[in-house]
Structure 1
Amino acid sequence: MIELEDLTVAFDDVTAVADVDLRIDRGEFVTVVGPSGCGKTTLLRAIGGLQTPTSGGVRIDERSPSIAQDAGDIGFVFQQHTLLPWKSALENVTFLREMAGESPDREDARALLDSMGLEGFEDARPRALSGGMKQRVAIARALHLGADVLLMDEPFGELDELTRDELGVELRSLWRRERKTVVFVTHSVPEAVFLGDRCVVMGDRPGRIEAVFDVELPEPRDAAVFGSRPFQERVAAVRRTLHENHD
C-alpha cells in the first residue's frame, strides 16, 4: 500500500505539489493525468524516494520510500528507456538484478520478453529495436527486478498513437498476471482511462488532486474498449474536469 499524507514539494519559491492526500492499495493500477508543469513527475519522484518532500510524507507498506527502494521493492520506467547500448535485450533485462547483487533468472527474463512480444529479439542490441520495442525491454527489466511497486513516468510519451495503444493493451494484460502496484503518469487522457483502475486528475501548479475517477470497464481490456461508449464517456468526464481546473 502507498500512502501520501499532506504531501508538499517546493523548490525555492516554486511549489510543485501541494497538500496531496492519496491512498493506493496493493495491486492497484492508478494513473495520474494533468496539464504540463502541474507536478505529476514530482509526485511520482516523491513516491519513489527520488525527491524529498518539503512537508508531509510518503509511506510504502509502512516504510519510507528510501527503505523500500533499498530493498528492491520499487521499479522505475521512464520516458527515456535508459537501456545500455552495448548489452542485448536479455542482458538489459537482467542488469538491474545483477547490480543489486542478486542472481538473475535468465529463463524468467526470456519469458518476460516473450510476454512483451519480443520473442526472437533476446540477443538484439537497442540500436536494432524500434522505440516501442525498447520500452517493452525497459518494462520487462523493471518487472524482472521483482519490485512490488512499479512507477512509470510517461513511458509511451515518444511513441506514435497506434504503438501506444498496443503497448497499453500489453501492459494492462501483463498487470493482470503480475498484479504489481502501478502508478502511471501520462498526458494522454484516453491512455489514463484505459489503463487505470482509478484515474487521478491534477490541476495547475501547485499540483493538487482535483478529482479521482473510478474506472469501471469490461475486463480483460483490449483494443475494442477504445471504441466503446463507456470508455468515451469516462474520457469525456476526465477531460471536463481538466478543463474546469485549468487556468
Structure 2
Amino acid sequence: MIDLESVGVAFDEFTAVADVDLGIDDGEFVTVVGPSGCGKTTVLRAIGGLQEPTTGRVTIDGRSPSVAQEAGDVGFVFQQHTLLPWKSALENVVFLRKMADKPPDREGARALLETMGLDGFEDARPAALSGGMKQRVAIARAIHLGADVLLMDEPFGELDEITRDELGVEIRSLWRRERKTIVFVTHSVPEAVFLGDRCVVMCDRPGRIEATFDIDLPGPRDTESLGSGAFQEQVAAVRRTLHESYD
C-alpha cells in the first residue's frame, strides 16, 4: 500500500505540488497524467524517496520510501534508460539485484528478456540496441530486482508511436503475470487510459490532483483496444477534465 497524505513539495518560493492525497493498493496499476510542469514527476520522486516532501508524508507499506528503496522494494524506470554501456543486456538486467544484495537469477533474467522480445540479444551491449530495445532492457532490469513497487517516469517518451503501443501491451502483460504495484507517469492521455486500471489527472498552479478515473476496458488489452468505442469514450472524459481545469 502506497499512501500520500497532504503531500506538498516546494522549491524556495515555488510550490510544485500541494495537498496531494492518494492511496494506491497493492498490485494496482495507476497512471498519472497531466501537462508538462504539473508536478507528476515530483509526486513520483516523492513516492520513491528521491524527493523529500515539504509537507505531509509518504509511506510504502508503513515505511518511509527511503527505507523501502534501500530494501530493494522499489524499482525505477526513467525516460532515459540509464543502462551501463559496458555491460551486456543480460548483465544490465541482473545488475540491480547485485547492488541490492539479492542473489541474481540469470535464467530468470533471460526469461524476462525473452518475454520483452529480446531473445537472442542477451549478449548485446546498449550501443547495439535500438531505443525501444534499451527501454525493454531497463524494464526487465526493474522487474528482475524483485521490487513490489515499480515507478515509471514517462519511459516511452522518446519512442515512436508504434513502439510505444507494443511496449504498452507488453507492460500490461507483465503486470498481469507479476502483479506488481505500478505507478506510471505520462503526459499522453491515450497512454494513461490504455495502461492504467486507475488514472489520476493532475493540474498545476500548484500541482494537485484534479480527478481520478476508474478505467473499465475489457481485457486483456491489446492494440485492438485502442480503436474501441469504450477506449475513446474514456480518453475523451479524461481530456475534458484536463481542459476544464484551465477554463
* Alignment TM class, shorter chain as reference: over 0.9
Code of the residue aligned with 1:82 in structure 2: it is: T
Percent identity, aligned pairs only, is: 82
Matched, 1:231 2:231: yes
**Contact between 1:75 and 1:142, CA under 8 Å: does it hold in 2?**
yes
Code of the residue aligned with 1:189 in structure 2: it is: V
Code of the residue aligned with 1:75 in structure 2: it is: G
Code of the residue aligned with 1:88 in structure 2: it is: S
Q: How far does the alpha carbon of each residue in 1:179-228 deviate from its partner, in whole angstroms, 9 at most, with x for none?
A: 00000000100000000010000012311000000001011001110000
Match of 2:129 in 1: 129
Distance 1:188 1:204 in 2: 16
Instruction: List alignment gaps of at least 5 residues for structure 2.
Output: none
Q: How far does the alpha carbon of each residue in 1:27-46 deviate from its partner, in whole angstroms, 9 at most, with x for none?
A: 00000000110000000000
Distance 2:103 2:222 in 1: 35
**Contact between 1:34 and 1:201, CA under 8 Å: does it hold in 2?**
yes
Matched, 1:47 2:47: yes
Distance 1:41 1:96 in 2: 22
TM-score of the pair, normalised by structure 2: 0.99
Match of 2:113 in 1: 113
**Contact between 2:30 and 2:198, CA under 8 Å: does it hold in 1?**
yes
Distance 2:89 2:130 in 1: 12
Distance 1:245 1:43 in 2: 19
Q: CA deviation at 1:102?
A: 2.4
Q: CA deviation at 1:100?
A: 1.8
1:162-241 equivalent positions in 2, closer than 5 A: 162-241=162-241
**Contact between 2:70 and 2:100, CA under 8 Å: does it hold in 1?**
no
Q: CA deviation at 1:245?
A: 1.1
RMSD: 0.7
Instruction: List alignment gaps of at least 5 residues for structure 1.
Output: none
Distance 1:101 1:34 in 2: 37
Per the alignment, in what secondary structure is the counterpart of residue 38 of structure 1?
coil
Match of 1:35 in 2: 35
Distance 2:246 2:36 in 1: 11
Distance 1:101 1:165 in 2: 34
Code of the residue aligned with 1:211 in structure 2: it is: A
Match of 1:20 in 2: 20
Code of the residue aligned with 1:136 in structure 2: it is: R
Q: CA deviation at 1:2?
A: 0.4
After the TM superposition, which of the residue ranges 79-88 and 202-211 deviates more from structure 2? 202-211
Distance 1:205 1:92 in 2: 39
Match of 1:56 in 2: 56
Distance 1:73 1:204 in 2: 30
Match of 2:82 in 1: 82
TM-score of the pair, normalised by structure 1: 0.99
Count of residues paired in the alignment: 247
**Contact between 2:71 and 2:100, CA under 8 Å: does it hold in 1?**
no
**Contact between 2:97 and 2:103, CA under 8 Å: does it hold in 1?**
yes
Code of the residue aligned with 2:87 in structure 1: it is: K
Match of 1:99 in 2: 99
- Structure 1 residue ranges (4+ consecutive) displaced by more than 6 angstroms after TM superposition: none
